[in-house]
Amino acid sequence: MRLVLKSITRGPILYWGKRRMGGSGPFIPILGFASCVVFIYLSFGDLWPAYPVGPAWSFVQRNGTRFVLDGKPFYINGWNSYWLMDHSADYQRKHKASAMLEAGSKMGLTVCRTWAFNDGAHNALQVSPGRFEENVFRALDHVIAEAKAHKVRLLLSLVNNLKAYGGKDRYVKWAWEEASTESLEFMAWSGLIASLFQTMLTRKNTVTGVEYRNDPTIFAWELMNEPRCMTDPSGDTIQEWIEEMSAYVKSIDKNHLLTVGLEGFYGPKNPKRLTVNPADWAADLGSDFVSNSKVSHIDFASVHIYPDHWLVLIAHRSFEDKLTFVSKWMLSHIEDGHHELNKPVLFTEFGLSNLNKDFQPSQRDWLYKTVYDIVYKSAQKKGAGGGALMWQLFVEDMDESNDDFGIVPWQRASTYKLITEQSCKLAKLRGAIEESQNLKELCLQKQ
């Protein structure tokens, strides 16, 4: 596209400027330039959407166990849509990302967690070590610009432990042709990860002109989605990796909050492994919620909630038992945030699969209500429960990207009501309803 625009602009300006130097000389170059601008606008104007310029945003920060924004507590009701960059890289699907961010904003949701990685897969951002696909990076630029336009902040996950979208295995393949152990793998590809982080954090957005590390639209960075290292259940390998990588990120970007991306399991040295973990296997995954989250450069703790998947091996567990587990799980981590960490705790994924044998849509509502009530009660008490992000939301006609947890929230009135009521309750706590037109329209009509 750039080459075409150069050939268009140079023609009228340089040709007329050289041929007519006297008399009405200045007029003709200006006329030629104006004609060129009009032509470009009419031909290509829709490629550069106009984003409204509003008041400058501040970065979300933390003060002890609470997120703060502009001196006020910032409580999060948010969601996951992992697919925003991937869809924005495809012209025919790009509008889905914009529609999702707009819909989330209208529901009063404040933070969206999404992938800022795609390593060596379809629509890859990083096609090989240190080599990035510019069109996909521009797709991420678009996502960030759209989020700002709709007053949504982003929690950007930088690497995946799982195989989807490349994941840790892709880095291992790049780092070593034959890695001997998973423990060595973690350290072997730290250099490749550091290169990725440097490129990502210093990226200059082609839409907004703002470097990522200077953009408050980004709520926080997440080091890795669900890190595990089962060949070192002691947790030492992951602990060392978190310490190294978090320090590196903070050496480049001191503006943004940083979290690990943990599921929240307690490791073998933590007594809570016996009383809070869903089962014995959870202590053998190489992570520990408390020690991993205590790292000085980590600003807040992250926790996931999947009672049906985690308790599936325990026979005769009713749905009520699973909700009891969720309550105990959340309260334990909020307690740790207050007494052990002095940091906020954000429940960055929670959901219920529709593949369960006894699944009923009402069960999903009960899970959402349980999570929301605990977050709200913590916020009321000025506790460490910073918020929750449901997994996950879509707009219509996205079956190819959906999983057994995804929902289109307005297709079920009771679910939509639960989500929007939580948005209003948390916004009211921080006195933020009058700050947003969407919140005013959403919340004032509920009163």
> Domain ranges in the chain?
1-47, 57-444
Please pick, among 349, 400, 421, 435, the residue that the annotation labels catalytic. 349
Judge whether 349 counts as a catalytic residue.
yes
State residue 176's pLDDT score: 67
Which pTM does this prediction carry? 0.87
Helix/strand/coil (H/E/C) assignment for every residue in the chain: CHHHHHHHHHHHHHHHHHHCCCCCCCHHHHHHHHHHHHHHHHHHHHHCCCCCCCCCCCCCEEECCEEEECCEECCEEEEECCCHHHHHCCCCCHHHHHHHHHHHHHCCCCEEEEECCCECCCCCCEEECCEECHHHHHHHHHHHHHHHHCCCEEEEECCECCCCCCHHHHHHHHHCCCCCCHHHHHHHCHHHHHHHHHHHHCCECCCCCCEHHHCCCEEEEECCECCCCCCCCCCHHHHHHHHHHHHHHHHHCCCCEEECCCCCCCCCCCHHHCCCCCCHHHHHCCCCHHHHHHCCCCCCEEEEECHHHHCCCCCCCCHHHHHHHHHHHHHHHHHHHHHHHCCCEEEEEECCCCCCCCCCHHHHHHHHHHHHHHHHHHHHCCCCEEEEEEECECCCCCCCCCCCCCECHHHCHHHHHHHHHHHHHHHHHCCCHHHCHHHHHHHHCCC
Judge whether 177 counts as a catalytic residue.
no
pLDDT mean by block of 10 residues, the chain; 447 residues: 30 27 40 42 44 80 98 97 97 96 97 95 90 97 98 97 82 64 60 91 98 98 96 94 97 98 97 95 97 98 96 78 97 98 98 94 97 98 98 94 94 97 96 86 79
State residue 174's pLDDT score: 80
Integer Cα distance of 423 and 388 in angstroms: 11
CATH number of 57-444: 3.20.20.80
Give yes or no for a cis peptide into 392 (omega within 30° of 0): yes
Please pick, among 146, 185, 226, 421, the residue that the annotation labels catalytic. 226
State residue 162's pLDDT score: 86
Backbone φ, ψ for residue 27 (5° rounding): -70, -40
